[in-house]
Amino acid sequence: MLHFPFLKRRSSPRFVLAVFLCLSGASLHGLGPAQSSNSNSSDAILSGVVTSQVEGEMEGVLVTAKGVGASVAVTVVTNDGGRYAFPRSRLQPGPYRISIRAVGYDLEDPGTVEVRAGSTQNVNLRLRATRDLASQLSNVEWLLSVPGTEQQRNALGSCVGCHAIAFAVKSTHDTTAWRSVLHRMRNYSSPSFWLNPIKWPWEVPPRAGDADLAEYLSSINLSSGPDWKYELKTLPRPKGVATRVIITEYDLPRRESQPHDASVAPDGMVWYSDFGLPYLGRLDPRSGEIKEWRIPVARAGAPEGSLDVKFDREGNPWIGLLLQRSVAKFDVKTETFETWAIPEEKASERSRAGMVAMGPDGKVWLKTSVDTYGAHLLDPSSGDITSYPLPLSFYGTDSNSKGDLYLASLSDGVIGELIAKTGKVTIYPTPTPRSGSRRGHIDEQDRFWFGEFFAHKIGMFDTTTKQFREWPIPTPWAGPYDAIRDRKGYVWAGGMHTDLIYRLNPVDGEVTEYLLPTLSPNFRNIDVDSSTDPVSVWLGANHQAKIIRLEPLE
Ligand code: HEC
């Protein structure tokens, strides 16, 4: 049974009168005293109040400013007085376009806004009820709206790997058409997405249950009329602490890029892999400059594209080359790649080697999954690879300070431990069965923090005491893919279905949920730069070709 007690109606509408009072009162007060000083609206270069007829001043509206012709967009969120404020340090003077995210509403376009140095530009924004709510729903909102069993909705949720659920529910396919569409979908490789279809080099037969799925899909789409036969449900907007945030989005040069992992190097540069294309990219957060390098082909004929990005002691990125079954090191000084392949006899054509973990001694852990399960310890100085068989399929990995490998199994809901000295493997089931432990990061205290994709929890395995802890995330289909702890002690995760970034306080279990400005970003791994103040959380928007930086202000 699915039960969503959090789905409350929005806070009671305020009246139009209150809006006029606020507007005429020139209430240029800041976003609140608890906020960091550099974002008071007295320091603002662009500020204003967001209102609508129905709600009056609106809290939790994401307001995005993007320079005309620019590739960087900055987003802030309105406070409980409906006020938004862009800190002076975040927008260069010049012409800007404004957009918003507030489900159920469209912006009455204020036109191009001229931001000037030395003054605060006041631009109040008016929202009106949207006529196209369906185009604003996130994946989780579709999953909450459609009728169906949990199993049927989970099948729908699995489409999100390659595109939004909107593709399915807005279509007009009947059951017969769905059967052939599903057959086509099954034959796309997992690094595909809607703008870059990549077929498996082999034929994939229909799955058991696809006939039933076809029937289900034709019952929830527009095959029998122009409207959906169910109510479209929406999640509440952010409020309180979740509105105190700055989000910066950097557009990548290629729209068909899929920045799967965005990892921050010790010098603050952000390096990203591309799930479908053979490029390694680098974003300089100080200048916004983006540079990409083509990764050499390691295995001709196999799909290119990469996944995990980790750094060695010299700050060079290492990238897991997935179906190329290899790892690449990029030398930042010479700007050249060096690649090592998994031994031929340790993998099959379908095996993947997307993960990398850096040992404390300069050795590098690789991992194969699908058909053959193995961990492979590479000594880059000699090129020697020592392989260890694994008893089951693992997904994300990380090494602790002793060089032992910790692995999360999405399929089996366990954490595996591989002791580097002895090769001994021990399996630790997560407290929640079938948790969907997916990817994670080891912190300075050798604790492995990981996302429980199916259980909608953040998990922690202490590699010293072998004890687990788990914390639930309140939103359904929260589906955390990955988790990482920052130096202040907060743990960060992101949901592939929800467009939300979660910040967990492990001491009291409180979770703050930050909404991202772009619909269906589809982010996967998460990284955090604790050297900035506030910390910078980094993600790749896999389906929107953007790198995202989130800075919590409280
Ligand atoms: C492995 C990647 C992948 C998965 C998983 C996937 N799709 Fe797709 N889908 C694509 C790609 C690529 C396109 C665009 C190219 C095309 O239409 O063939 C697409 C397009 C579509 C379209 C629009 C085109 C059309 O024929 O109507 C629909 C509808 C669709 N998918 C439904 C689904 C459903 C339903 C699921 C989940 C049960 C799903 N897809 C899962 C890759 C995928």
Ligand 1, atom 15, lies closest to the CA of 194
Strand 536-541 and strand 468-472: the pairing is unpaired
Q: Measured from the CB, is residue 293 less than 6 Å from ligand 1?
A: no
Q: How far is the CA of 158 from the centre of ligand 1 (A)?
A: 11
- Angstrom distance (rounded) from CA 78 to CA 406: 41
Average pLDDT, the chain: 91
For residues 427-465, b (16+ Cβ closer than 10 Å) or e, as one string? ebebebeebbbbbbbbbeebbbbbbbbbbbbbbbbebee
Give the C-alpha separation, 443 to 155, whole Å: 34
Closest protein CA for atom 17 of ligand 1: 194
pLDDT of residue 42: 64
Ligand 1: residue whose CA is nearest its atom 41: 159
For residue 348, what pLDDT band results from cuts at 50, 70 and 90? confident
| φ/ψ (deg, to 5) at 82 | 80, 5
Instruction: For residue range 36-93, list pLDDT tens digits in order.
Output: 333 445 699 999 999 999 999 999 999 999 999 999 999 999 999 999 999 999 999 9
Contact between 478 and 495 (Cβ < 8 Å): yes
Residue 130 pLDDT exceeds 80? yes
User: What is the enclosing helix (H) or strand (E) of 381?
Assistant: none
What average pLDDT does range 286-304 have in this prediction?
A: 94
The answer to whether residue 165 scores a pLDDT higher than 70 is yes
Mean of pLDDT values over 285-294: 96
Please give the average per-residue pLDDT across 544-554, as a whole number. 97
> Is it true that 16-131 and 404-515 share their CATH fold?
no
Mutational test site, ligand 1, from 152, 156, 162, 169, max ligand atoms within 8 Å of CB: 162
Residue 162 beta carbon below 6 angstroms from any ligand 1 atom: yes
Dihedral angle sign, alpha carbons of residues 18, 24, 29, 30: positive
Instruction: Give domain limits for the chain.
Output: 16-131, 147-220, 295-389, 404-515
Homologous superfamily assigned to 404-515: YVTN repeat-like/Quinoprotein amine dehydrogenase (2.130.10.10)
pLDDT given for residue 347 in this prediction: 87
- Answer yes or no: is the C-beta of 220 below 6 A from any ligand 1 atom: no
168 Cα: distance to centroid of ligand 1 (angstroms)? 8
Instruction: Say yes or no to pLDDT of 200 above 60.
Output: yes
Would you give the distance in Å from CA 63 to the centre of its chain?
A: 20
What's the one-letter identity of residue 167?
Answer: F
Q: Is the CB of 395 under 6 A from ligand 1?
A: no
Q: What is the DSSP letter of 479?
A: -
Amino acid at residue number 209: G
pTM (predicted TM-score): 0.92
**Number of continuous H segments (helices) and E segments (strands) in the chain:** 6, 38
Among 139, 152, 153, 167, the mutation site with the greatest number of ligand 1 atoms within 8 A of its Cβ is 167
* Residue 470 to residue 476: CA distance in whole angstroms: 16
pLDDT, one tens digit per residue, over 89-115 is 999 999 999 999 999 999 999 999 999
CATH number of the structural domain 16-131: 2.60.40.1120
Cα–ligand 1 centroid distance for 163 (angstroms): 7
Quick one: average pLDDT of 233-259?
A: 98
Residue 27 has pLDDT above 70, yes or no: no
Is ligand 1 within 6 A of the CB of residue 99? Answer: no
Residues whose CB is less than 8 angstroms from the CB of residue 79 and which lie 6 or more positions away in sequence, other chains included = 31, 32, 59, 243, 244
Q: Is the CB of 217 under 6 A from ligand 1?
A: yes
Cβ(222) to ligand 1 under 6 A? Answer: no
Question: 197 in ligand 1 pocket by Cβ < 6 Å?
Answer: yes
- Ligand 1 centroid–CA 172 distance in Å is 13
Identify the pLDDT of residue 265.
98
Q: Could you tell me which residue, 14 or 545, shows the higher pLDDT?
A: 545
CB of 161 sitting under 6 A from ligand 1:
yes
Q: Quick check: helix, strand or coil at residue 157?
A: helix
Mean per-residue pLDDT, 324-331? 97
Least confident of 20-34, 202-216, 220-234, 332-346: 20-34
Cβ-proximal residues to 276 (8 Å cutoff; 6+ apart), any chain: 191, 192, 193, 196, 198, 256, 257, 258, 303, 304, 305
Q: Is the pLDDT of residue 151 over 50?
A: yes
- 436 pLDDT band, cuts 50/70/90, is very high
Mapped onto helix, strand or coil, the DSSP state of residue 181 is: helix
> Among the atoms of ligand 1, which is closest to the Cα of residue 171?
29
Q: Does residue 270 sit in helix, strand or coil?
A: strand
Say whether pLDDT at 232 is over 80: yes
Tell me the CA–centroid distance for residue 539 and ligand 1, in Å.
24
The predicted pLDDT at position 372 comes to 87
Tell the burial category of 255 from Cβ atoms under 10 Å away from its Cβ (0-12, 13-18, 19+).
exposed
Q: Which atom of ligand 1 is nearest to the CA of 181?
A: 26
- Percent of the chain surpassing pLDDT 70: 92
pLDDT in tens, 494-517: 998 999 999 999 999 999 999 999
